[in-house]
Structure 1
Amino acid sequence: MDEKDLLIALRSVDEKEAAFRSLVALYKERLYWHIRKMVLDHEDADDVLQNTFIKVFRNIDNFNGDSKLYTWMYRIATNEAITFLNKKAKRNNVTIDTLKDQAIENLKSDVYFEGNEIQLRLQKAIHTLPPKQQQIFSMKYFEDHTYEELSELLDTSVGGLKSSYHIAVKKIKDFLKSNETF
């Protein structure tokens, strides 16, 4: 089913639930990994993903088609993850940076984290970047988006994205070099 047919089905009273199940099956894994890279914790990512799909279900009639459906959902997921992190930081009376530091440390005991020490160090390096650079780096490096896709998803120029990505890569390399352990 193409996006146009899926949207028609999502807006149909009779077909909405079946179409929504198809939508979830189609996009849940991609959105989960995007959210997971932001919140780091599996359970938190599941919660944010669920909230994302609830918002999508409730607001699908407001989708105006100015972008692709995935782009719209991706932005909802991003906003939900940011809102979640802000609420969690406030509830725990810590900064977002402290919250992310704690989440990185918790990755060591996370049964869903299959990484090794090098991947843990990479996560630490990524989280030293400003939030926008973190997002651009993760989307380009881990999710393998093209600059053109990133431009549409983030509503930013390709030139600006290339610059941000290369600056992020340099900062990560510098962090890893200065924090080498032998």
Structure 2
Amino acid sequence: MNDRDAIVLSSIKESVAPSDSDGSPDIQNIQYYPFARVLQLRVLQIVCGISFLIIGTVAFIVEKGKMNLGLGIPTGGATILAAAASIHTTRGFGGYRTSAFNPGSLLRLLGPSVKVAVPLTLLWAVACSFMGLLLFKSIKVISCWKSNQQCVVDTYSVEDDELSDLLILAILQLTLTLLTFIAVFSLLRIDWKYDPD
């Protein structure tokens, strides 16, 4: 092996990732948009949406066609649709697009342009409204179980055996709702903190 081969091999082994000591101080302070984290949270929202659909369908069957915890069906559909649209329009996934809104404007959180922001905001408003209703219905079923008596859940009587099934479904729906809301607020925080403009 000659010296030239040794130099080539040693340069191949060296890391291309910069260290903290490399570069000027202004380059070290650059914060990169965390696309991987955003994608993880969007996938979490889609998984929660699919789970809403499944649990909502089971609740719809247990409630014999009543739309209380069965609200998980439209909640799941709206969440999946909103999260998928958000993935499609997130800055960076389809190539970076500068925002049409002024720097510092809260409207920048909605999307890069009005054409994207309006439908996306409507989709998330519908999904969050359904999640809010489902949260209320789940808490109502859980509080009915805590009172330890036969109770009425939205104009129909619930027997003890049905209540135990509904309790499990309500806890699952409540958990999914809170998890999805946490993901929504985390994504808003990321978009606000790492706004590249």
Bigger Rg, structure 1 or 2:
2
What's the TM-score once normalised by structure 1's chain length?
0.29
Higher RCO, 1 or 2 (CA under 8 Å, sep at least 6)?
2
What's the TM-score once normalised by structure 2's chain length?
0.27
